[in-house]
Amino acid sequence: MIKRGLDIELNVRPVYIGLYHEEYYEGPCRFGSGDALQPGFDQIMNRQLSEQFAETVKNAMPEKVKLLEPIFVERPDSWITGENLYETLLEGSAETDFYIVNSGIGRSGITLEFAQRVRKPLAIAPDRCCEVPIINAALRARGLEVYAARTWKELKKTITALRLRKVLNSTQLLLAPRMDSHASMSAPDTFLSLDQVTDKLGVRFRYINIHELLDQMQPLPEGGNYTTPGRKTNNITAEEIAALEPIADRMLAEAQEVHVEKKFLMKSLTACATVKKLLDVYDCSGFTMPCPDTCSTRRLNEMQFTPCMIHSLLNEQGIPSACEYDINALLAMVVLEAVSGNAAYMGNTDVVPYEDGELVLMDGMRAMVFPDIEDKTNLYHTWHSVHSRKLHGIDRENSPFGLQHFARDQKFGAVIRYDYNRDAGQVLTACRFSPDLKKLFVGRGEVVGGGDFDKENCNNYLIYRVADQKKYFDAQMQVGTHLPVVYGDFTEELSILGECLGMEVLRV
């Protein structure tokens, strides 16, 4: 089963810890007058306040949160705390990801012991005055995971970041290597160790040999596939291929421009459908395969497709899929799509210096037609043929798009084209881990435009402006070339995620 990161929820449980007085008296820690000093009054107020607290928590939650049944406990002013109180606090702890605690004077010790017992992340309600610094100092000194927020709005972003950590911990990726199961011939800037990724982020990996994958992109022949003779494998069926016909017809009808034949579009759709079928079989929610390693087998030329459409269509369905066996970029896309609900776009990401009144174009850019941009400062450039119709929301209608071929001579390899000029002014967020998992790049930019909508091959590009090109460039040099992006500003949530993961955040 494909378990999308988009669908993973963080289980949050509110906890109200009340204090009640058993006798009538006044003093330095007993305030009030009249009935408020009478025995029994506190119990009545605690129940009312706990209900108000639960409602406040409910209204403050971000999307993709499952709010669990609140827990209510009280302690008397005799300071005798029975074991039954902790038993109540620990109920349902196995399913709880995060606690929000309403505590106060005379209850801090209970919160401390509860945190020591449950060993789950928690935060004190932001409006609890002195309790926030008390509990944070006490728990942090003991190495326990606790979060502080000045407002409920801030806490909302922390909860979103913790959900992203859970998404990573729940992620299983399907990798299709040829030469090397760790890195492709074009992406050595990926992780140093996949075991380290599993240990630190909880991400797991499943593998299928690229030749077995390619064999399964056709109905199973009699006697089995060439690479697995006699074995019954999960090949796409003739019926499943036939079901792609109306999808191809719809794409051809809806595209603004079409420069590819239907037969080639069908080959690309067949490849995508095969990969999605295998994702379901392997219980994975993300995919990558190596471009140059596979290209050099000449099988892509023989089968007349490129992987681009696989990545585009899977990302449109909330299933992260990355070029060039770039597992690092793939994990960044897992995070970006989960936080935004938008399809991510990844590509070769290059600085565009502006020096002596002219743009300084790198080798790959000189053949590209740059739009007329009045302000040429602080520009960045991203290009790959894995564009998406769902940049503005995976659950929203498709944006206008075009269809082009990839191969210049033979015209195969259907790819989606997108005009980024229509999104000028749109804020975007970029993300990538460093190969050693010690740093997390978090970038913010604003779309300026794009180009090469009508060109074939690995292009059609996005141009965006950053606040400080030099700082952005220096930070990128620590993480690698592919900087996946999504529309929207999620830099705060991703920065908190980096801190939760114990990484240095390169926020630019």
Tell me the pLDDT tens digit for each residue of 60-108: 999 999 999 999 999 998 888 999 999 999 999 999 999 999 998 889 9
pLDDT of residue 365: 63
Q: What's the whole-model pTM score?
A: 0.94
Tens of pLDDT, residue by residue over 254-279, are 999 999 999 999 999 999 999 999 99
What average pLDDT does range 122-130 have in this prediction? Answer: 92
Query: pLDDT band for position 344 (50/70/90)?
Result: very high
Residues 6+ apart with CB under 8 A from 253: none
Is the predicted pLDDT of residue 324 greater than 70, yes or no? yes
CB 156 within 8 Å of CB 64: no
pLDDT of residue 371: 66
Tell me the sheet residues that pair with 428.
Answer: 445, 487
Is the predicted pLDDT of residue 470 greater than 80, yes or no? yes
DSSP 408: T
What average pLDDT does range 304-332 have in this prediction? Answer: 97
Is the predicted pLDDT of residue 175 greater than 70, yes or no? yes
Q: What percent of the chain has pLDDT over 90?
A: 84
Amino acid found at 399: S
Residue of higher predicted confidence among 366 and 429 = 429
Whole-number Cα distances in Å, 471 to 203, 425, 446, 448, 466: 30, 21, 16, 19, 9
pLDDT of residue 128: 86
Is the predicted pLDDT of residue 385 greater than 90, yes or no? yes
pLDDT of residue 98: 98
Tens of pLDDT, residue by residue over 193-246, are 999 999 999 999 999 999 999 999 999 999 999 999 999 999 999 999 999 999
pLDDT of residue 78: 87
Taking all residues of the chain, what is their mean pLDDT, rounded to a whole number?
Answer: 94
Query: pLDDT band for position 360 (50/70/90)?
Result: confident
The class that CATH gives domain 5-166 is alpha beta
What average pLDDT does range 157-179 have in this prediction? Answer: 97
pLDDT of residue 28: 80
Tens of pLDDT, residue by residue over 18-58, are 988 878 887 787 777 887 778 877 788 889 999 999 999 99
Cα 159 from Cα 167, distance rounded (Å):
12
Query: pLDDT band for position 358 (50/70/90)?
Result: confident
Domain residue spans of the chain: 5-166, 171-507
Is the predicted pLDDT of residue 118 greater than 70, yes or no? yes
Burial class (CB in 10 A: 0-12, 13-18, 19+), 408: exposed
Task: Give the residue from 488, 444, 445, 450 showing the smallest Cα distance to 465.
Answer: 445
pLDDT of residue 103: 92
Element (H, E) at 161: helix 152-169
Cα 485 from Cα 320, distance rounded (Å):
12
CB 288 within 8 Å of CB 325: yes
What average pLDDT does range 130-143 have in this prediction? Answer: 95
